[in-house]
Structure 1
Amino acid sequence: MLSILGEDAPSYATVKRWVAEFKRGRSSTDDEPRPGPPVVSSTPEIVQRILDIVMDDRRVTQRQIANRMHKVSARWVPKLLTADQKRQRESLSRENFKPFEGDPDNFLKRFVTMDETWVHHFEPESKQQSKQWKHVTSPIPKKA
């Protein structure tokens, strides 16, 4: 296999696992079906980048493309704020903190009421679901 497939040959451990599977009675080389839809994160930009790589060298292998592209999770940031918005939030937080310093026991009574309860429910996608492909030279994606 190594002389024919070269670096694309499966590892010895993989071949050993396949032999064991066939000895146990498996007759198909196809993957077993997996639950849920396949995880796909393709965007027009990624498709265009890969197309450019392939058009530059039509003999490029999947491993060579994988060396140029990496799948990463977007960096979670609460919100992408400008410097002015950050300054404004800081000053408002300091103003709200002054009454707490003056009377910490009665501070919450000013803000917490028992009339109604509002709960915002939001389920963000998991880290695995939010992964996306990025080129080695492109910056790490951010997600607000």
Structure 2
Amino acid sequence: MSESSLHLTKLEHRAVIKFLVKKGKSAKDIFEEMSTVYGESGPSSATVKRWTRLFQQGRETLEDDSRSGRPNTAVTDENIEKVKKIVLEDRRIKLWQIAEELSISKERIGDILHNRLHMNKVSARWVPKMLTPLDEQRRVETSQEFLDLCKDKLEEICSRIVTVDETWIRQYDPESKQESMQWIEKGEKPPKKFKHDRLSNSRRNGRQTQLNQCSVDSLGVNERRQSKPASGV
């Protein structure tokens, strides 16, 4: 399901609630089902309960009842700027947290983010290592130097190469896809996450680490080594 298809208007949310009420679902079941599908962009529990009750009582229209008095002024230029500033300071902030800070409903915050600021919340893309442009350039240059060195003896030289790779296996609490979600602006690249430094995690937190080494030649893996688990100090 595409990211944009998860962000429905309030009328579309009410249509979903109405449909599920017609199927005999309870307010609790409807809220859990919509939370699973739509995540944070879904309606709050209180909203689901209120509209479930109205539809169970025979209401057919999805529109709000006309109200007298002062019109809703939550979506103002000032509030839009406030929401943008808060999100740019903390890309992982949740809708309800912004709503509490500004005393605005979660639905209005969602409207400002998606329809006024054109922002979406996406999960970070995992990469093995975070390489800088300089790291990438060095890899290209080193590979080219090797090819120049081998020239027409590439196959012969490669058959004599033994490479070694190692990785630290450590005890840690992995970040879930949901926890890694961040707000991004339209056209902005999604964030990345990579394997953290073992010293900044395992040793600092006193958790176990283990080093796995593997050597490979042209015939395949010829040796594996595994260190004994040890707690970081």
TM-score computed with the length of structure 1 as normaliser: 0.50
Report 1 or 2 for greater relative contact order, CA contacts < 8 Å, sequence distance ≥ 6. Answer: 1
TM-score normalised by the chain length of structure 2:
0.35
Q: Which has the larger strand fraction? A: 2
